Amino acid sequence: MTTFELTPVGVGSADTGAACCSPLVTEPMDAARAEQLASSFKALADPTRLRLLSIVAKSEGEEACVCDLIEPVGLSQPTVSHHLKILATAGFLERSKRGTWAYYKLVPGALDRMSQLLADG
């Protein structure tokens, strides 16, 4: 399993401000910004998390119950929940609880912000 630091990187939050969307290629990046972005990429640097994200993204309302994510990726519920938590901490998914199960929804714009960052300036 990938070593992972659970530091909030706020790709989906307002606190990153305008700097959040500066393309990687328009200016040399300072160390603090690079640390923050590397954390976001770490959240995406795992095949299970990429599959979970793509399944959630294709689900109705871009939201899925943990209970519906276990079978498609073929892993245990605790493992799936662990990966979903990393994606939520990184700002790609938001979690809500209804009854017994947790639901995860794609944070609007979070993937797009990462996309813009990599686009040619």
| Residues forming the site for its own copies (CB under 8 A) | 2-3, 24-29, 31, 34-35, 37-39, 41-42, 44-51, 53-55, 57-58, 72, 106, 111-112, 114-120
39 vs 89 by CB, closer to its own copies: 39
Q: Give the single-character DSSP code of 107.
A: P
- The answer to whether the CB of 87 falls within 8 A of the CB of 98 is no
Q: Residue 37: which of 119, 121, 113 has the closest Cα?
A: 113
28 vs 99 by CB, closer to its own copies: 28
3 vs 100 by CB, closer to its own copies: 3
In whole angstroms, the minimum distance from the beta carbon of 14 to its own copies comes to 19
Beta-carbon count within 10 A of 60 CB: 6
In whole angstroms, the minimum distance from the beta carbon of 64 to its own copies comes to 11
Q: Tokens in use for 45?
A: 């640097």
In whole angstroms, the minimum distance from the beta carbon of 54 to its own copies comes to 4
95 vs 109 by CB, closer to its own copies: 109
d(CA 81, CA 107): 17
d(CA 120, CA 97): 39
In whole angstroms, the minimum distance from the beta carbon of 99 to its own copies comes to 25
